[in-house]
Amino acid sequence: MQHITFSAEGTPESMHLAEGQRPTPDAGDILIEVAYAGVNRPDVLQRSGRYPPPPGASPILGLEVSGTVVALGEGVTQWAVGDRVTALTPGGGYAQYCVAPAAHALPIPATLTLAEAAALPETWFTVWANLVDLGRLKAGERLLIHGGSSGIGLTAIQLARHLGAIPLVTVGSPEKAAFCLDFGAAAAIDYKREDFVSKVKQITSGEGIDVVLDMVGGPYYQKNASVLRRDGRLVLIAFLEGSKTEFDFAPVLLKRLVITGSAMRPRSIAEKEALRDALREAIWPEWAAGRLKPHIHASFPLAQAAAAHRLMESSQHVGKIVLAVNA
């Protein structure tokens, strides 16, 4: 099969098509003929040597795919050859064939294209785990989403609205702000032109935020603590500006704040299966009803994966980037 590989220098230009052996599903796995693969920040980090795959995972990039089941591992009964699925994968998505745990696959809603379906697993698993399970976001609460126009950000906007919460976002341009407002954000703050701390206090009449979803890290830690109200939760999912900083913990004590966070890839198969089941029950009917819609910013052929990564690194995109593999 064809797949994307990359050299040790780890640049987008080092990525290229290669020929490799088609994988075989182990017990509990399914083999998917990939139609589309989602492109995500962890792929960029892995390519650059900062996010190695866990033991036993494919070294090939790619954490989510859509396509058709072509083989079943021992013991798999919930899927059949010929089923169209979208799946969270431990790796291997940038390839014509990809193995995924059967427990991490979901049916493709009839309302979505294969390209749109490939854009669902990584962001929805991640956002549900961090906002519902860890952040305990509920109706009527305010959520501040940093990187609101990213794939994660748009997913968080939709999940907040689904839960009855009020999503506010930070973005890097007026165009992204306008898009997020149209997509369902209650307010959009251009962090390059406005101080988000003072703007949040203005928007909320000084009441503050209940949950902050942060992928920036570094200089945002103290600012996040300052905008959180009593019993607020700071949920960390990435560190685009670094994981270390000097931090005054006084607001944590005075406002009873909770600081938490998680990554998806290190979770166990059982933990991800529980997330899959929660999404299938709570979110998948929303696709069928047309109340949710992913946004695909760009689709690239598999051979142009380097261009997809350059776009991801530029942060000029809004929503998701996908690779067309066997589309």
Q: What is the pLDDT of residue 327?
A: 77
Q: Are residues 249 and 289 in the same domain?
A: no
Q: Which residue(s) pair with 37 in the sheet?
A: 65, 323
Beta strands in the chain (DSSP E): 2-6, 15-19, 29-39, 64-72, 84-88, 97-101, 105-107, 142-146, 166-171, 187-190, 209-214, 228-236, 258-261, 296-301, 320-324
Q: Which domain holds residue 288?
A: 2-120+265-324
Q: Are residues 152 and 221 in the same domain?
A: yes
Q: Are residues 219 and 287 in the same domain?
A: no
Amino acid at 108: I
Q: What is the pLDDT of residue 314?
A: 96
Q: How many CA atoms lie within 13 A of 250 on its CB side?
A: 3
pLDDT tens digits, 64-119:
999 999 999 999 999 999 999 999 999 999 999 999 999 999 999 999 999 999 99
Indicate whether 137 pLDDT > 80: yes
Domain with residue 298: its CATH number is 3.90.180.10
pLDDT tens digits, 268-322:
999 999 999 999 999 999 998 999 999 999 999 999 999 999 999 999 999 999 9
Indicate whether 230 pLDDT > 80: yes
Categorize the per-residue pLDDT at 238 as very low, low, confident or very high, splitting at 50, 70 and 90: very high
Categorize the per-residue pLDDT at 45 as very low, low, confident or very high, splitting at 50, 70 and 90: very high
d(C-alpha 235, C-alpha 136), whole Å: 10
Q: Are residues 105 and 133 in the same domain?
A: no
Q: Are residues 10 and 116 in the same domain?
A: yes
Contact assessment for residue 235 and residue 212, using Cβ atoms and an 8 Å cutoff: yes
Indicate whether 136 pLDDT > 90: yes
Q: Are residues 116 and 153 in the same domain?
A: no
Q: Are residues 103 and 130 in the same domain?
A: no
Q: Are residues 156 and 220 in the same domain?
A: yes
Query: 261, 288, 310: which is the final residue of a domain?
Result: 261
Contact assessment for residue 34 and residue 95, using Cβ atoms and an 8 Å cutoff: yes
